[in-house]
Amino acid sequence: MSKTRARIKRRFPSILDLAQLMKFRKPIFSPKKRRLSRALTIYDLRTIAKRRTPKAPFDYTDGSAESEVSLARARLAFEETEFVPRILRDVSHVDTSVEMLGKHHSLPFGIAPTGFARMMQTEGENAGSTAAQDAGIPFTLSTLGTRSIEDIFTAAPNGRNWFQLYMWKDRDRAMGLVTRAKNAGCDTLVLTVDVPVAGARLRDVRNGMTIPPSITSKTILNAIPRPGWWINFLTTDPLRFASLDTWNGTVAELLDTMFDPTISFEDLKWIRKNWDGNLVVKGIQNVDDAAKSVAAGADAIILSNHGGRQMDRAPVPFLLLPEVVKKVGKKVEVHMDTGIMHGADIVAALAHGAHFTWIGRAYLYGLMAGGRDGVDRTIEILNSQIVRTMKLLGVNSIEELNPSHVRTIDRYRSSH
């Protein structure tokens, strides 16, 4: 049986037809702007960062404790989350802003405290604080920062700059930092409580990472394809801790030497009496400790397992959210960090009950990929992903997000 075929009429394309097809992108002459423009996700920034940064500082950022299960589970929890979209809603306008601890912020995430930022890229904390200022989000300086409290407030005088405190064995020196933060204009103190001892970060041990970085035959070989990092390192002011004495050793040795394993809820109450600004407790990993922290005077808590960098097989903050919010959410703000690599992760956390979220690795990947411009790109990527996810969910504002918008896929719940 013969088939009937419609004949296709062909023609010669006109010059106008060809001209419309031959459209070229405007060239980007700056190598940095060109590589950042090609980064469409945080993982793209990570790829660039790994290519441009020596192994030891990159692994310090990228890695976590022991078998790195805590971080892997945090990512899996986000990936095994399912959204429940609503259709036929007018989402022509989306408001991503939030009120957080008495101030308005343009986006529902901030930059978490991360140590040694200038080791990742020479602009360090100045890049993070100025990018945060311009984006209308908070920035948190770590006790282990490589720029001083005063440097940050000078670099970003109009930003909301917080200070993160590890309690030292020498209480007077620790509170001296708190006084400096207050005098500089800091309105919020973040007390990190999950470091009674340093986690076993095996990548750092295997890399022999010290502060400042040691130059060995291995590091020289690793530096050959990454000359930009080493030029910056060798031609700018020496890499050091701005709030600590000079240290020549590993991070774990520093933590075990400086920080106090005896810290208790009584110390939290004492800090509350000596600090009249907002007090945030970071590192909460169970409901009881959340309630005790609130009773001791916390204005907000951050559910966090330190990005998986302390205890392996730690609780996943995202999965802990509903229970903690139910217990203390009417008394204080409940924030979370750990594993956030996409704007959809942030939307899921907010729908799950979080009031605010914090990014660490995502910020540092951008910093390593392109300094201040790379941090801007991190914020741009997350912002665009948040807006798109909200529109696809059918919501116009952060306030509209609620638990009905998200659920955990059954196969994840049953296997864990």
pLDDT > 60? residue 416: no
Q: How confident is the model at residue 77 (pLDDT cuts 50, 70, 90)?
A: very high
Which H/E stretch holds residue 335? Answer: strand 333-336
Give the separation between CA 275 and CA 296, rounded to whole angstroms.
13
Specify the CATH architecture of the domain 42-415: Alpha-Beta Barrel (3.20)
Give the separation between CA 92 and CA 383, rounded to whole angstroms.
16
Between residues 413 and 13, which one has the greater pLDDT?
Answer: 13
Average pLDDT, the chain: 90
Residue-wise pLDDT tens digits, 309-318: 989 999 999 9
Give the separation between CA 256 and CA 221, rounded to whole angstroms.
31
Average pLDDT over residues 49-57: 93
Query: Which of 18-22, 224-228, 299-303 shows the lowest mean pLDDT across its residues?
Result: 18-22
Residue-wise pLDDT tens digits, 319-371: 999 999 999 999 999 999 999 999 999 999 999 999 999 999 999 999 999 99
Q: What is the 3-state secondary structure (H, E, C) of 96-158?
A: CCEEECCEEECCCEEECCCCCHHHHCCCHHHHHHHHHHHHCCCEEECCCCCCCHHHHHHHCCC
Give the separation between CA 291 and CA 328, rounded to whole angstroms.
6
For the annotated catalytic residues, the residue numbers are 306
Angle between helix 343-351 and 69-79 (nearest 10): 80
Take residue 232 and report the two structure tokens written for it. 């910056």
Give the separation between CA 402 and CA 350, rounded to whole angstroms.
7
pTM over 0.75: yes
Average pLDDT over residues 59-82: 94
Do you know the residue count of the chain?
416
Query: Which of 195-199, 238-242, 283-287 shows the lowest mean pLDDT across its residues?
Result: 238-242
* pLDDT for the residue 415: 47
Query: Which of 209-218, 312-321, 336-345, 391-400 shows the lowest mean pLDDT across its residues?
Result: 209-218
CB 167 within 8 A of CB 260: yes
Residue-wise pLDDT tens digits, 98-137: 999 999 999 999 999 998 899 999 999 999 999 999 999 9
Give the separation between CA 119 and CA 240, rounded to whole angstroms.
9
Task: Residue 48: count other Cβ atoms within 10 Å of its Cβ.
Answer: 21
